Chain A
């Protein structure tokens, strides 16, 4: 049994976090893994929408969310947060973007700050396929339509009508049951 680490206060992430991290083998070992993820996070903050392979996208999503949530919680005058931003963002003008643009944008959010959309899986190709990782509130056109269900679509109309009929029939059968059985004269 381990005791939780108390030295830092972290915000809860609003994405699904897997219990074990992916290893991303590289000649440099774990240092190389973080170097590659650093490049991904930097690109995400710079371009706000990137297309890459799914495993790297999922790992980088976690790190990006952590970075932004720390920036929102602690602000830019916090030494540890600034050190993390300095490490994770290779281009130093992106640190400015993080604290001056992204923090005000995401401050009031109750949802995650990034979105991971599955991309095309071309055959024969990389097994896990591609993914598109983007920051919410980016200026590009949406990848997926905003709403996916309209009440005036035919199947929705038919389903609504069927539900209504069911409810009416149920109400009628209830009233029949509650009334005493009428005499059959």
Chain B
């Protein structure tokens, strides 16, 4: 179980590596003024690159708007007390460095993934787990996701930290979304909704530009449940068929005014201008990494032939 793996290895020699990285990023920023024109298939993940010309006539490259859904962990923690521009910048540099070594693909809650982790205690030194992503969270290097599967009639959930150096491979077997952002209700659902074979192979996407939304409505087991699902506005669950008093109590306890609380929303989000700045900073490197991997994948099978 990978729970709180302390990323000591990254922080060794921080001072020395900071200067090296700084120099590297300066030279990279000089390179990224002229982004690589990709001759990719139409409707690729990168979408349309918007180039806004500023007054001086230099083109300003702006990341496409889908980036905030594809790479949400690049946005910092919105809690104001914990904001620190320098820390966030260093974290983003570290994240890009890690992403250059291992591919962390685009995934959403509801996607089925296979993760291989280096494990010194297993006979072959790797441990592989396949499961459905029920939740993702964290920001920066502490970004995590939880995979759930049912193994030998026992539900198993593993929390993986995406940037942990022990992770060898993250593969998305089926890329799709569900109707809810958090699928914690699968814990109270019938086991067939959380069971996925370990030998499952990666499925080919029919349409590269759109991530399909699976409109499945899951059946829950009879009560007792781990949470009061009737109080959460769940879209992906079948009718709960509870006595009316549950729904009445849910109405009493509900906070309908929170929907209109503009400042509460503001304190939970990163403003759009900041998001644009962050993604403009990282997207060129992410695209370069993506391109290199695509080329390698194409060359791989052809070189074997």
Residues of A bordering B, CB below 8 Å:
1-6, 8-13, 17-19, 21, 30-31, 34, 59, 62-63, 66-67, 70, 73, 83-84, 87-88
Contacts and interface: CB of A to CB of B under 8 A. Distances in A.
A4 B263 contact: no
Nearest to A2: B77
A73 to B, nearest CB: 8
Contact of B139 (A2, A30, A59, A62): A2
Nearest to A13: B266
A10 B271 contact: yes
Given A1-B77, A3-B75, 14 more contacts: A1-B140, A3-B137, A3-B138, A4-B75, A4-B77, A4-B78, A4-B270, A9-B275, A12-B272, A13-B266, A18-B80, A19-B81, A62-B262, A88-B260
A147 B193 CA distance: 68
Contact of A10 (B77, B138, B140, B265): B265
Contacts of A6: 68-69, 72, 269
A87 B256 CA distance: 12
Interface of B: 68-69, 72-73, 75-81, 136-140, 142-143, 255, 257-258, 260-275
A178 B59 CA distance: 46
A86 to B, nearest CB: 9
A5 B139 contact: no
17 contacts: A1-B142, A3-B136, A4-B77, A5-B268, A6-B69, A10-B271, A11-B273, A17-B267, A19-B79, A19-B80, A30-B257, A30-B258, A59-B263, A62-B266, A66-B266, A67-B262, A84-B260
Nearest to A67: B262
B87 to A, nearest CB: 12
A4 B269 contact: yes
Contact of A19 (B142, B260, B267): B267
Contact of B265 (A5, A19, A73, A87): A5
A141 B78 CA distance: 39
Given A3-B137, A6-B68, A17-B80, A66 B257 contact: no
A21 B268 contact: no
A2 B275 CA distance: 16
Contact of B262 (A5, A73, A84): A84
B78 A2 contact: yes
